[in-house]
Amino acid sequence: MKRIAILGSTGSIGTQALEVIKANPDSFELEVITAHSNADLLIAQALAFKPNVVVIAREDLYEQVRDALQHEDIKVYAGANALNSVVEMSTVDMVLTAMVGYAGLQPTIRAIQAGKQIALANKETLVVAGQLITELAREKGVNIYPVDSEHSAIFQCLAGEFHNPIEKIILTASGGPFRGRKAEELRLVTKAQALKHPNWDMGAKITIDSASLMNKGLEVIEAKWLFGLRNDQIEVVVHPQSIIHSLVQFEDGSIKAQLGLPDMKLPIQYALGYPQRLKSDFPRFNFLDYPQLTFEQPDLKTFRNLQLAYNAMEQGGNMPCILNAANEVAVSAFLRDEVGFLEMSDIIESCMAKVMYIANPSYNDYVDTDREARLRALELVK
């Protein structure tokens, strides 16, 4: 029985993780759930699952959550300090980091320092501070189990192969809703169009990142740190059907792929249950339903964010932190209809050129870099 803390239980990954836990009562016990501001859903989840602890990050919502749960045997806390503290609880075995963006970095660090196993859905943690996180995990003997479907696929392909050197990995990308379109066609695309992903049901931020291919860029950087790869060992291929979730090529030329229908509950369950594969009732893939699986090169000129991510990874240091902070501001502005789809790349590129570069950043450098990049990006939005 693994006791689970879910950071970000009201988001897309968090809600699906709760479905996995509900379907496997003999394998998992829910200890902690947290949310940033969705108090109503957090309360409903707490009443349904009866965790030991609930945390609402926005302190102005504390009384609402506390009052709604006052007749339950559930501890209610609020604020960033509470979020960082609950991951250290002795009653927690594994922390699923399903928060969105940079906000997941500090609680993930605290969980690793406390020796908790990590199921990582917050890719920005490794994008921003990959070297710091992987070194800390190694020092504390903590395993990081990937939840992203692509990185879960790589992890599954490596089962039984950890002693065999990787020649390269191939991350697949659906291409998003605008696959095949050129820049002039993208200038006037709307938020509503960008939020219609062809294959996956995800939160707004990651859906926009998928439409711009920034999500794939972030995944490239995440893969470097998760699997200890050189920059030239990571390739991206557009695979519109989203059936092959990613592939590993070994030094003998053999390639392993992990396939399945696009359903995030499968990689969530694999990460939480590892090394066991727990039985599920998820829909099964049938080859006859997909007689053609196709592949294309990504268009790096039109979808500049993927190239910008590669550039940030090549430069290293705090550059991926700059990339991530500027992207979070740009996506938020796009979702508020304040910038156009292509302008997001302009904002990111400008921040990468103007924010101070640090080759060997400390944790405090990452904090300062994130703040500076956000301020510059906000100036560009205005």
Binding residues for NADPH: 10-13, 38, 122, 124, 203
d(CA 42, CA 47): 9
- Binding site feature residues: 10-13, 38, 122-124, 148-150, 174, 197, 203, 210, 215-216, 219
β partners of residue 173: 238
Query: Do 341 and 362 contact (CB within 8 A), yes or no?
Result: no
- Binding site feature residues for 1-deoxy-D-xylulose 5-phosphate: 123, 149-150, 174, 197, 210, 215-216, 219
Query: Do 231 and 224 contact (CB within 8 A), yes or no?
Result: yes
Query: Do 86 and 57 contact (CB within 8 A), yes or no?
Result: no
- Binding site feature residues for Mn(2+): 148, 150, 219
Instruction: Report which of 377, 381, 379 is spatially closest to residue 349, judged by C-alpha positions.
Output: 377
